[in-house]
Structure 1
């Protein structure tokens, strides 16, 4: 629910539905970027896949690539976790996808709570077939779960050094 009760918040950019909701309440966001955060994808550390292309990620979340063997992994169905609508990471996924529709996720593949998808991908009983997404700082500094590994995208590892020096368009696709 959006109301005029708060003067200042520090959050990821609002989703399109949050912007519409504010507009319907006669409110506007005055957004001032104060930093950038890397949007990253991760799998269980036992998954053999280390790298995906941006196009492969889009096809996974569009429901077009459904098995890890299609992207160089084992013959196992991909369980692509999503976040609830209007969460910061789901909004980042929607921006990354552009005009490509995101597949409808089964309810059990929608992880709630900020650490939900990290927990599910690291602990899920079919651990090697899950994929999720979050923000780099959250996954590496706040949760620091050693059961997941961050994937390289288009051959670029999501290291702190890479994102600090990010100057090319392909890096910026993963930044807010």
Structure 2
């Protein structure tokens, strides 16, 4: 567990430009699902998470191969992390995705800041936006034994420089509530 809060100001793009605001990223879309599989555990195949991510990309008009960074919900539970990894793999390596697992950059910031519960989604979305803005992927701290069945770039232990045009941020909750946000660099053409 951790303590923290985060606020992201959303503003109509033309209004922000007119007042000379610094624009960190654009919200391209979101997706949600409610699989209601179990009160505290997701389906092992990650179907609910996958549905939220697919809906988000569809709403954004973005293909999986365009996603340069995934900020995972990743609570460090064996079943939860495995289910999310399965969903990310199905999305990113499926139709219109990337060719190899190592091309999927996914990290969790909970190892650095803890699980902020109600604030987790907002703060993790900010990390995704800052990855786009700064070209730096936040690390998955304390990851010493990555899943041997997945070859994703989990950004272990240290931040990595990478130009990111599109990032997604996953937030999943008890009872099978799943949400994914899609962010992109200002002016990204879909």
TM-score band w.r.t. shorter chain? under 0.3
- TM-score w.r.t. structure 1 length? 0.26
Structure ranking higher in strand proportion: 2
